[in-house]
Amino acid sequence: MEPVLQEIYDSILNGDAKAMEAKVQAALKAGINPKDILDQGMVAAMADVGQRYENGEFFVPEMLISARAMQAGLAVLKPHLREANVAPSGKVAIGTVKGDLHDIGKNLVGMMLEGAGFEIMDLGTDVDPEKFASVADQVDVIALSALLTTTMPNMKATIEALQRTGKRGKVKVVIGGAPVTEAYAQQIGADGFAPDASRAVAVTRALSGH
Amino acid sequence: MDKRTVMKMALEWKDPPYVPWNINFTIPSEERLRSHFRGQDLEEVVQNHMVNLGYDIYFYHDIGNDCVRDVFGVVWDRSVDKDIGVVKGQVLAQPILKGYNFPDPLAPEVFAEVSDRLERFGDRYRIFGIGFSLYERAWTLRGLQTLLMDFYDNPRFVHELLNGIADYNIAQIRESLKYDIDAVMFGDDWGQQHGLQMGPRLWHEFIYPVLKRMYGEVVQAGRKVFIHSCGDVDELFDDLVGIGLNCFNPFQPEVMDVATLIPRYQGRLAFYGGMSTQRTLPYGTVEDVRQETQKLLELGKSGGYIFSPAHDVPKDVPLENMLAFIDEVQHQPGYLNRS
């Protein structure tokens, strides 16, 4: 790997957001392809972050500062990616379901997906099923989060809203959250279940055909 | 033998005559129970074994639009979640404690109802509770994601903030110990479905030393230390026992092995909770609930266990399931035959 790409990678692992702007600029100035900066410097680093989270080395603070560093670099890189016609890995609408106001899980998944090259539409918390359905035409995947057993039924309600509006076939649905299980995902007809923010990337990649 | 004595026997592994219980309800589930027991006092129906003092009694003030403000200045939006709500705004927008005024730990309202409650529920085990007691208080002031990054960005500020919160708590603890109370319960959620939110290294660096200071006040006064911490936190039990922890709540069976932990910690750490609120209570049959209750009562029959659902009973628990576990605990032979 080019030394400056390794520096970008390390800055993300170390959560060094302040260094990122200069390093991404340096990489661009060195003539490195924006897609290579993204894939080798950032996406690979965030995959490493995810692996360390799954291994129990990183926890939420480390994920947050790494994601912040990644976002700082991405802010510099985005115009260059657009100019180079680099398409995102896919588009994902994410939100916490109706009646649920918990957002950190959703935010972590959003950050990890962004770090994997996806474009994120964050619908926030307490999101109506109809709201999810209304954006189904614009995305490849809808990601639903719930922390409570009392709000999990709105995951099913969201899938039913997609069916009612004739959009179920246009989009994949992945679900996650503390009380959510693989069995529940199958029960309600979701396409995928992610046990944590890191594994959400692999599940979403598989569902979006990337 | 009163309930307080039975609790003490359970907490000392002295073969209590039955497993004591203490069951709390969210607002919607309490309303359903009240409706079923029309006209009856729920305290008389449920027969809880603890009386909670402090915390809720003085803490929140209604500011309209379904919002309340707590004494630390944090605004809670209760438009959706009526029981706790979600933090709105950010009291500490900068990592600077200077200029922030902690509330008065000895405000008259804190202890205003304590004497009356002790008189009304004098036969119960007396617990002075401090909710959102440390890490949670810190993040409600700063924002959860911001505080989690503050561990790296502003470590000195985090130490200062946590110790400031502890100073507030300690002043209140010292005053509470002047009453005839049995324990102090610290509420502070550290866990997730899997593991700690901040991880063990940061927990040990930032939170553990402050806990030692706070628990020490209670230990020195010869009272018991209880904690409530949601999630997968059992990796911390040995460290917590080492600084004075006596009883752990909520003891969620989805994230820790209750059947293994009760005997493993016999003589060292008692447990309060254990009944599944993520699986059995909302989705199980009445028979499932009865069986799980029976298993827990069997595990705790020699002491070291207080029965409870693993959280305030949520609104998706069917009425018949609530009635089932209440019936099971109240039909323990030792309770039916009590003098």
Q: Percentage of chain B surpassing pLDDT 70?
A: 99
Q: Are A65 and B149 a contacting pair at CB < 8 A? A: yes
Residues in CB range of B131: below 8 A, 6 or more apart: B55, B56, B59, B187
Question: pLDDT by residue (tens digit) across B92-146?
Answer: 999 999 999 999 999 988 898 899 999 999 999 999 999 999 999 999 999 999 9
The H-assigned helical ranges of B223-332 are: 237-242, 258-264, 280-283, 286-299, 319-330
Pairing mode of beta strands B270-275, B245-249: parallel
Question: pLDDT by residue (tens digit) across B41-63?
Answer: 899 999 999 999 976 655 889 99
Q: Are B152 and A61 a contacting pair at CB < 8 A? A: yes
Instruction: Indicate the residue of B80, B86, B198 with minimum beta-carbon distance to A60.
Output: B198
Cα separation, B182 vs B184, in Å, equals 7
Q: Which regions of chain A are under pLDDT 50? A: none
Minimum distance, in Å, between the CA of residue B87 and any CA atom of chain A: 10
Cα separation, A66 vs B77, in Å, equals 30
Q: Are B149 and A68 a contacting pair at CB < 8 A? A: yes
Residue B53 and residue B176 in contact, taking contact as beta carbons nearer than 8 Å: yes
Quick one: pLDDT band at residue B323, thresholds 50, 70, 90? very high
Q: Are B144 and A126 a contacting pair at CB < 8 A? A: no
Position B338 scores a pLDDT of: 83
- Extract the tokens encoding A126: 């307490």
Q: How many CB pairs under 8 A join A and B?
A: 60
- Was domain B3-62+97-336 assigned CATH 3.20.20.210? yes
Instruction: Indicate the residue of A64, A102, A125 with minimum beta-carbon distance to B149.
Output: A64
3-state secondary structure of A90: strand
- Extract the tokens encoding B324: 């089932």
Instruction: Indicate the residue of A59, A60, A150 with minimum beta-carbon distance to B316.
Output: A150
Which of A13, A59, A106 to mutate to probe the B interface, most B CBs <10 Å? Answer: A59
- Residue B153: list chain A partners with CB under 8 A: 65
Q: Are A59 and B282 a contacting pair at CB < 8 A? A: no
- Extract the tokens encoding A22: 């200069």
Residues in CB range of B303: below 8 A, 6 or more apart: B9, B10, B11, B12, B13, B14, B15, B16, B266, B270
Position B55 scores a pLDDT of: 63
Q: Are A101 and B192 a contacting pair at CB < 8 A? A: no
Position B239 scores a pLDDT of: 98
Q: Are A59 and B202 a contacting pair at CB < 8 A? A: yes
Minimum distance, in Å, between the CA of residue B193 and any CA atom of chain A: 6
DSSP assignment letter at B53: E
DSSP assignment letter at B128: E
Position A53 scores a pLDDT of: 94
Position B146 scores a pLDDT of: 97
Minimum distance, in Å, between the CA of residue B218 and any CA atom of chain A: 31
Position B180 scores a pLDDT of: 95
- Residue A101: list chain B partners with CB under 8 A: 77, 80-81, 86
Cα separation, B78 vs B84, in Å, equals 7
- Extract the tokens encoding A137: 């035409």
- Average pLDDT in chain B: 94
- Residue B277: list chain A partners with CB under 8 A: 149
Question: pLDDT by residue (tens digit) across B224-259?
Answer: 999 999 999 999 999 999 999 999 999 999 999 999
Residue of chain A minimizing CA distance to B190:
A60
Q: pTM (2 decimals)?
A: 0.92
- Residue B53 backbone phi and psi in degrees, to 5: -120, 155
Position B54 scores a pLDDT of: 77
Q: Are A150 and B198 a contacting pair at CB < 8 A? A: no
Q: Are B81 and A101 a contacting pair at CB < 8 A? A: yes
Quick one: pLDDT band at residue B336, thresholds 50, 70, 90? very high
Q: What domains lie within chain A, and their CATH numbers?
A: 3-83 (1.10.1240.10), 90-207 (3.40.50.280)
Residues of B within an 8 Å Cβ radius of A: 77, 80-81, 86, 144-145, 148-149, 151-153, 192-199, 202, 254, 277-278, 282-283, 314-316
Minimum distance, in Å, between the CA of residue A84 and any CA atom of chain B: 34
DSSP assignment letter at B106: T
Quick one: pLDDT band at residue B217, thresholds 50, 70, 90? very high
What are the sequence ranges of the domains in chain B? 3-62+97-336
Minimum distance, in Å, between the CA of residue B139 and any CA atom of chain A: 12
Q: Please give the span between the terminal C-alpha atoms of chain B, in angstroms, as a whole number.
A: 6
Cis peptide bond N-terminal to B250, omega within 30: yes
CB atoms within 10 A of CB B83: 14
Quick one: pLDDT band at residue B18, thresholds 50, 70, 90? very high
Angle at B338 between CA B335 and CA B339, to 5 degrees: 165
Which of A63, A111, A149, A196 to mutate to probe the B interface, most B CBs <10 Å? Answer: A149
Q: Are A179 and B198 a contacting pair at CB < 8 A? A: no
- Residue A100: list chain B partners with CB under 8 A: 80
Q: Are B148 and A61 a contacting pair at CB < 8 A? A: yes
Task: DSSP for A73-117, please give it.
Answer: HHHHHHHHHHHTTPPPSEEEEEEEETT----HHHHHHHHHHHHTT
Instruction: Categorise residue A99: left if φ over 0, alpha if ψ from -120 to 50, beta otherwise.
Output: left
As separate numbers, helices (DSSP H) first and strands (DSSP E) second, chain B gives 17, 11
Instruction: Indicate the residue of B196, B282, B283 with minimum beta-carbon distance to A59.
Output: B196
Q: Are B151 and A59 a contacting pair at CB < 8 A? A: no
Residue B306 and residue B22 in contact, taking contact as beta carbons nearer than 8 Å: yes
Position B337 scores a pLDDT of: 87
> Is the per-residue pLDDT at B164 higher than 80?
yes
- Residue A59: list chain B partners with CB under 8 A: 195-199, 202
